Structure 1
Amino acid sequence: MAKLGVKEKYHAMTRDLMWEPKDFDMNKVYPLIEKEGIILKDPSRWEDPFRMAYNQYVKIQSEKDGIYHAVRNAFEANDGHAKVVDSRWYEGVKVFATAVQPAEYSAHRLMAYVGRNIPIEAIRFATFNQAIDELRHAQIEIKHYAHMSKEIDGLHNFANTTQNLWFNTVPKSFFDDAMTAGPFEALIAISFSFEYVFTNILFLPFASSAGAVGDDNFAAVGKTVQSDESRHMALGMSALKMLLEEDDRNVPIIQGWLDKWYWRAYRLFSVISALVDYYPRIRPISWKKAFEIYVEEQVFEGLFKDLRKYGIRLPKHAEDSMKEKNHYSHSVMRILDHYKHANLFRGFKLQPDDYQWLSNEYPDTFDRYYSPYFRRMDDHVLAGSSPGIPSVCTVCQVPAEFPDPDNPSKMWTQYSEYNNKTYVTCSPGCKHIFEQEPFKYMQIWWPAEAYLSGEFGDDPIAGIFKYTGLSPEETGEHYSSREHARWLEHRKHLGLDKKFF
């Protein structure tokens, strides 16, 4: 028998694994395949762009795991936690932990759902690999947080906290929305909008910040996770083009999905803007510049320029996101500061170098609209706290407290009527999404409504802490916290507080 070439060997190991059911109709085995209106003529010609067999996949992932765990072990053994530039960095890592780790686990379930419901071999094998990737990411991040919980507050009851914390309804709503969509829409939601458009801006700037402040452990987490994303991005791009090339009737359906899922992913990643601009004391890049590089240049001016030949335009509210880049991180940080008493991560008093950097990076907006708020916090860190928990957007479930980028002195909050009830959204983008599928979002569990209705008991503040697994000492402001005091004591023990002239 002749030796198989690379392409033939790949096909032998990953193709011809499907079968035609004899006793059941294909539409019963795959009941969702025709529900979305997508036309498939010859999907068998679609190829996984990486053409990776399973044994190759396991070998590569094993090597990456070995590299990451070596870095993690060295960091833990050498008191790396005490050597970062400023301990407030770990408040940002807690934000990341709360939002991203549960999202990774949900992504693995979503890719399994896509693979089960699309009878195309190449997509099924690619989504199988990606499902394992996402589970690996979730496990690596949990391992990271397990070590952090020895040194910092807020993560001792991580499973319960991430399940019940109101903040985590944001990633939950995104993935629940995708999981209850059809399989092709779900594929666009995760592989295109989440992975292709926003994954670089999620991991690269924040991982770079980790390296800059001395957190080699988190930098290694970011690098090993991001190393998988090139395959995920390629899957999203090739699947999108395959669907567009199959039939012209697919184009308006896909355009509607791109309109929806661009804005949904953009709002999901809102907190990353604050993590990039505020939490690190040394910042390699601003959110504004990262957005211009990774979204405007690579996606809007690169990818969507290539998609014009299919009849695809920019997502419906892309221009709004470009306007908002000068305000995004500041308005998100203000929201986080308002509710620092109801989260596992704390706010913090800005330092003189923070004001200088933010003013230089955002000369048109920071000093005029946001610096006055944060300076009020200098004298009394709870001056701007809001009682209870916030009113949230019906769609993205981020607090509906974003300023209108065209008129920053006014809120961007929108209102829609459905079945004689008023629903609140945070922006025109979320309003549009709600009005396309109001029946899907009217089922929202609203934390503020639960708070007011007594769901947390007669003493709702105590009820919130019991529900989330936190204590009052784990919330509030960072520099006056017990965590910061312990970090300073740890550094003193290691001799890191000594100065030599």
Structure 2
Amino acid sequence: MAARMGLKQKYHAMTRDLMWDSQEFDMKRVYPLIEKEGIILKDPSRWEDPFRMAYNQYVKVQAEKDLLYHAVRNAFEANEGHAKVVDARWYEGVKAFAIAVQPAEYQAHRLMAYIGRNIPIEAIRFATINQCLDELRHAQIEIKHYAHMSKKIDGLHAYAQTNENLWFNTVTKSFFEDALSAGPFEALVAIAFSFEYVFTNILFLPFATSAAAVGDDNFVAVGKSVQSDESRHMALGMSALKMLLEEDDRNVPIIQRWLDKWYWRAYRIFSVVATLIDYYPRIRPISWKRAFKTYVEDQVFEGLFKDFRKYGIRLPLHAEDSIKEKEHYSHAVMRILNHAKHVNAFRGFRLHPDDYEWLSSEYPDTFERYYAPFFRRMDDHVLAVATPGIPAICTVCQIPLEFPDPDNPTRFWTQYSEYNNKTYMTCSPGCKHIFEQEPHKYAQIWWPAEAYVSGEFGENLPDDLFKYFGFAPEEANEYYSSRDYERWLQYRKQLGLDQIFTGR
């Protein structure tokens, strides 16, 4: 009788020796990108997937997660969970999450497939195919959640069209298209390290905690199901990065350049998360400032990058700028969203006294002085702060150029660069640096203002604009004066849930 294999031997048998050893084709033709980035690989076969998970184990674990999630979702829908949240303006934030994050999950699955196809290292290929399937699962369970939401609220009835065409989603698209047009090792640093390791915790943990606080058990289940996969993704990013640094000292300056770029790119794509933590929940367990301190400053800067010093790696180039900006980030982004709420699939809203009280206590040095006057302008007229035109956007991150300089908050942080006798604008020194490293790449930006003028949105404006986006004008604007709010109040009344949250 053959001896039974131990766990380690079984893992190797089921994940190693699966590579195609080409005898008739030059491997450089099979993997044409492997040498394009300058990365030196000496003995990558020694690299191990830290989870050592075989495929049959992976399928079993994921099936259990799906069963648990769908049980919670079914119970939430059957028990009128939508009506029982503290304040349904929360769902405007969930719509923002839907339009920004779910397409990112789908794009991430494409990106992991691209990485696995172009890196001939068995352990990386097996780990990336698992993550590729993870990202598809995340996209699917999120869409299932939004399908239920679309029965109750505005803005999501043409979800695929809105995700494809809405100007807001160009931020997510630009990040992933940037990564997909990079080499495979740079793409691995972009997604598995900068996106997953550095920022995933601040995406799912505080927002899921907020969901629990306001009573959205469905989204809590989404967050738990997704975040349980992210620990594996984070481990892949960490171990792969260490493998590249340990392979050869010549890899260090290349990796540092990628960390400088992709830290800032990921930081900007997560800008909307700051508002989802600070503004959309009526009950807030944590602020963006405190979450950033915990999950980025303490865990990443003070923990991880201290370990990286032995390789010669320093903090990302503009890390200090992001630390200073945490006092302003959520307010500046919420201001941008309120400027454009009349052309967005999710609404802004007037702040309540308890909102002002909480924001002032969490941001005593900035909110009342620099931002509260802006929000108070909406008290008498909901469209008082709506921008009358189309804003200029950053050439790199594609967010409107409305970020304040944290050292001088009454001035915008807008930067200017020259390329091919043309001036390009970026939102910050971080994006300016990225642009000037690869100006040929970012000069190809799709700019909504140019599309509007050229007729891409249609000829009968603004009606055709909303048809292009996939929602109607009455699905935009301000929440507390909307039909959604009135419907939610009636819904609660029919269920005997008449009490309205007062913030006390």
Structure 1 residues 400-459: Cα deviation after superposition (integer angstroms, max 9, x where no partner): 110000000000011111001111110000000000000111111100122233333344
Report matched runs for 1:419-434 at 5 Å.
419-434=420-435
Partner of 2:150: 149
Matched, 1:416 2:417: yes
Deviations 1:237-266 (A, max 9, x none): 000000000000000000000000000000
Counterpart CA distance in 1 for 2:249 and 2:409 is 41
Letter in 2 for 1:396: C
Which amino acid in 1 is paired with 2:147? A
The aligned counterpart of 1:308 is 309
Q: What's the counterpart of residue 249 of structure 1? A: 250
Any unmatched runs of 5+ in structure 1?
Answer: none
Paired position in structure 2 for 1:484: 485
- Structure-2 residue corresponding to 1:87: 88
Corresponding residue number in structure 2 for 1:46: 47
The CA distance in 2 between the partners of 1:9 and 1:264, in whole Å, is 39
Residue number in structure 2 paired with 1:60: 61
1:391 aligned counterpart, secondary structure: coil
Structure 1 stretches of 4+ with a deviation exceeding 4 A read none
Aligned partner of 2:91: which letter? Answer: Y
Q: Which residue of 2 aligns with 1:346?
A: 347
Contact 1:388 1:451 in 2 (8 A): no
Residue in structure 2 matched with residue 134 of structure 1 by the alignment: 135
In the alignment, the residues of structure 2 paired with residue 296 and residue 456 of structure 1 have an alpha-carbon distance, to the nearest angstrom, of 42
- Give yes or no for contact 1:388–1:461 (8 Å, CA) kept in 2: no
Aligned partners of 1:7 and 1:285: how far apart in 2? 41
Per-residue Cα deviation, 1:73-131 (whole angstroms, up to 9, x for no partner): 00000000000000100000000000000000000000000000000000000000000
Amino acid at match of 1:151: K
Amino acid at match of 1:382: L
| Structure 2, unpaired ranges of 5+ | none
- Report the number of matched residues: 499
The Cα shift of 1:498 comes to: 5.7
Task: Give the secondary-structure state (helix, strand or coil) at the position aligned to 2:462.
Answer: helix
What residue is the counterpart of 1:15 in the other structure? 16
**Offset, 1:496:** 0.5
2:284 aligned partner: 283
The within-5 A match list for 1:258-269 is 258-269=259-270
TM-score by length of 2: 0.98
One-letter code aligned to 2:307: D
Q: Bigger shift: 122-131 or 446-455?
A: 446-455
In 2: Cα distance, 1:273 partner to 1:328 partner: 7
In structure 1, the residue matched to 2:298 is 297
Distance 1:185 1:480, change over 3 A: same
Task: Please report how far the alpha carbon of residue 19 of structure 1 lies from its aligned counterpart in structure 2 after TM superposition.
Answer: 2.8
1:298 and 1:40 map into 2 onto residues whose CA distance is 29
Which amino acid counterpart does residue 201 of structure 1 have in structure 2?
I
Tell me which amino acid in the other structure corresponds to 1:76: E
SS in 2 for 1:252: helix
- Matched residue type, 1:457: G
Pairwise CA RMSD: 0.8
The letter for the 2-side match of 1:123 is I
1:118 equivalent in alignment to 2:119: yes
1:392–1:425 contact (8 Å) kept in structure 2:
yes
Q: Structure 1 residues 294, 273: CA separation in 2 closer, same or farther (over 3 Å shift)?
A: same
Corresponding letter in the other structure for 1:348:
F
Report the AA paired with residue 321 of structure 2.
Answer: D
Q: 1:391-406 counterparts in 2 under 5 A? A: 391-406=392-407
CA distance in 1: counterparts of 2:198 and 2:33, whole angstroms = 26
- Mapped to 2, the partners of 1:97 and 1:4 lie a distance apart of 45
Aligned positions of 1:180-329 closer than 5 A:
180-329=181-330
Contact 1:342 1:388 in 2 (8 A): no
Q: What is the one-letter code of the residue matched to 1:112? A: A
Taking structure 1 as reference, are residues 388 and 457 closer, same or farther at Cα in structure 2, changes over 3 Å only?
farther
Distance 1:232 1:74 in 2: 29
Q: CA deviation at 1:40?
A: 0.1
Deviation (angstroms), 1:461: 1.8
- CA drift at 1:388: 3.7
Tell me the CA shift for residue 60 of structure 1. 0.4
Q: Which position in structure 1 is the counterpart of 2:4? A: 3
Q: Secondary structure at the match of 1:321?
A: helix
Encode CA deviations 1:377-415: one digit per residue, 9 max, x unaligned. 111110110124321111001111100000000000111
User: In structure 1, what is the equivalent of residue 168 of structure 2?
Assistant: 167
Counterpart-to-counterpart distance in 2, 1:387 and 1:195? 37
SS of match in other structure, 2:244: helix
> What residue identity is the alignment partner of 2:128?
T
Percent of aligned pairs sharing the same letter: 80
